[in-house]
Structure 1
Amino acid sequence: MSKLRIGVVGLGGIAQKAYLPLLSQATDWQLVGGFSPNQQKAKLICDSYRMACFSQLDSLAQQCDAVFVHSSTASHFEVVGELLKHGVHVYVDKPLAETAEQGEQLVALADKCGKALMVGFNRRFAPLYRQLKQQMQLPASIRMDKHRADSVGPNDLSFTLLDDYLHVVDTALWLGSGAGNLLSGSLRANDSGEMLYAEHHFACGETLVTTSMHRRAGSQRESVQAVTDGAVYQVNDMRQWLREDRQGVIEQPVPGWQSTLAQRGFAGAVQHFIQAVGNQTRPDTAGEQALYAQRLLEKMLRDAG
């Protein structure tokens, strides 16, 4: 059986920090090449990873079975659509598209073309978050905070919600194991329309879920706390695990061999997509799973006026 041929579209920060280091460690696949409109920059990056630099998106698509898309959100609808029409499986950074309506069109197109379309919610593949989801019993409440030391602006509230807060809402509701009914919430922006703070409350069956993000909290902290029947769990920055019950507090050390990309779920997400394509199975974060949190964010914006 021939190896899966993989390409990359968009060679910016997230591609260089997370995906290219993983994809270049090719085992069951072949990293064919990359494409970016900035050809001068693209050639330097492609040369450093010893892969071909393509000058046209369709030329890359013709040489690949699957493509990872890390271009701007504004380009997702056009780029993902073109790749699917060329018969290519697609992994794309969240959000799937600028609007849920565009995302729905891409999901329908992927189904029509019979191709896998996965959105990169890497936190769903973070080992400690997956362990928490598996171990906690009858959670009464789950709270997820993801703050920024000083990251107000320069983009508007809508952009920041889709670019960053979407991770929080998606992960928290996934941990809550169900569709979340939005109970209440607050969005605060400055006079320039830039996000300052967001907090929202959901009901996932019997579990109450809270999400929170402050853009100038003086801290880069990300944490999840779950209060369950018999234990309280705390996961900090996807690398510290605490469990407290009647016997005391247990702290689980991070395996010394585990890389940061594995801790943060990027390695797991890449492997999951490649296996889904190879096995012709549906990725976990496809279709409705990929769009549910985005629809909620659009509702939050409408409710906030």
Structure 2
Amino acid sequence: MKIAMIGLGDIAQKAYLPILTQLDNVELLLCTRDQSTLTRLAQKYRVNKVYQDYRLLPKEQVDAVMIHSSTVSHVMIASYFLQQGIATFVDKPLADNAFDCEKLYELAEKHNTPLYLGFNRRFIPLFQSHIREQTLCSLRWEKNRYNLPSQLRTFVFDDFIHPLDSVNIYAKNDIKDVHIVSQFKGLQLARLDIQWEQSGTLLHASMNRLHGITNEVVSFNYENCSYQFDSFISGQRWQSEQQTQLRLADWTPMLTSKGFVAMIDDWLAVIAIGKVEADMIKRNLATHQLAESICQKIGKS
């Protein structure tokens, strides 16, 4: 299977290259405009085929591409490959607005080509082994950063979309009945909390970018049973007035604990069958549509 990686920045180097270069059934091609980065990574991972122009990749008859470039470039690059019927993976967000997301999925449907969105938090093994959404009473996902307020749309689509999608398990895209609280530092958004109830579950996504430390806290509750995780490898369960420590197995690799390994396995299966499940497409669109509504509502206020 030939897969081309486009964009070789921080996340591509930390999360994707270490996994993809270890897969026996994948022949990797690298593409970035930065010649020095291209040369360095090709030598490090012994990749033979490299490009600075993504438009030359189809001549290699690649089976799929993975786009890790800047958000602003996602629509242009993804459109190019979808029009040629090449399975396309895009790191979240798909775009910085919902309208372009909808157009990309329309294009994918027109060309009967998989468009996969990379949300690694959907695959975190420690959480997935305990969460059972059918009987869930509440779910709260809090992701914080130290001293990093930013412009509204960048805050929401590039970062807050992680906790937003993580609680959007029922694929809500209607802003009605969503409670929003925002705090600004000057013209920059510093904190955002949104909350709603759906299918009997109270859902809450939170991000404070003027927090005392960069961290992520996940908690969820069933009747008389509660969980909290302050990392991707350990947490606690409280049930019958007893506390139980929860941990991944010793020596679990970091990229496994953060969901990247399972997500890439899922992506490879999508390439093989040539289809993204309808429920996943629905959730992908709903998360971006909800993010768009949040931006518009806060912008107007």
What is the deviation of 1:180? 6.6
What is the deviation of 1:285? 7.6
Q: 1:227 aligns with which of 209, 221, 224?
A: 221
Aligned to 1:53: 50
What is the deviation of 1:35? 1.0
Aligned to 1:62: 59
Secondary structure at the counterpart of residue 168 of structure 2: helix
Cα distance in 1 between the residues matched to 2:274 and 2:52:
30
Cα distance in 2 between the residues matched to 1:290 and 1:137:
20
- The answer to which of 196-205 and 70-79 deviates more is 196-205
What is the deviation of 1:234? 1.0
Cα distance in 1 between the residues matched to 2:32 and 2:56:
12
Q: What is the TM-score of this pair, normalised by structure 2?
A: 0.92
Which deviations, in whole Å up to 9, do the C-alpha atoms of 1:139-166 show, x marking residues without a partner? 222111111122224xx12111111100
Aligned to 1:211: 205
Secondary structure at the counterpart of residue 211 of structure 2: coil
Aligned to 1:184: 179
Q: Does 1:279 align with 2:273?
A: yes
Cα distance in 1 between the residues matched to 2:57 and 2:45:
16
Which deviations, in whole Å up to 9, do the C-alpha atoms of 1:221-254 show, x marking residues without a partner? 2111112113011122222131111151111222
What is the deviation of 1:283? 4.8
Aligned to 1:171: 166
Cα distance in 2 between the residues matched to 1:133 and 1:68:
29
Which contiguous aligned blocks of 4+ residues in structure 1 show a shift greater than 6 angstroms? none
Cα distance in 1 between the residues matched to 2:134 and 2:271:
33
What is the deviation of 1:178? 4.9
Aligned to 2:102: 104
Cα distance in 2 between the residues matched to 1:50 and 1:8:
14
Which ranges in structure 2 are unaligned for 5 or more consecutive residues?
none
CA RMSD of the aligned region, Å? 1.8
Cα distance in 1 between the residues matched to 2:277 and 2:46:
29
Which deviations, in whole Å up to 9, do the C-alpha atoms of 1:3-53 show, x marking residues without a partner? x1111000000100000111101222221x111122232222222221121
Cα distance in 1 between the residues matched to 2:113 and 2:10:
27
Preserved CA contact (<8 Å) 2:226 2:238: yes
Give the paired residue count.
295
Preserved CA contact (<8 Å) 1:118 1:285: no
Cα distance in 1 between the residues matched to 2:96 and 2:44:
31
Which ranges in structure 1 are unaligned for 5 or more consecutive residues?
none
AA in 1 matched with 2:203: V
* Aligned ranges 1:222-261 → 2 under 5 Å: 222-246=216-240, 248-261=242-255
Paired-residue identity, %: 27
Cα distance in 2 between the residues matched to 1:286 and 1:107:
12
AA in 2 matched with 1:44: R
* Aligned ranges 1:28-39 → 2 under 5 Å: 28-31=25-28, 33-39=29-35
Secondary structure at the counterpart of residue 98 of structure 1: coil
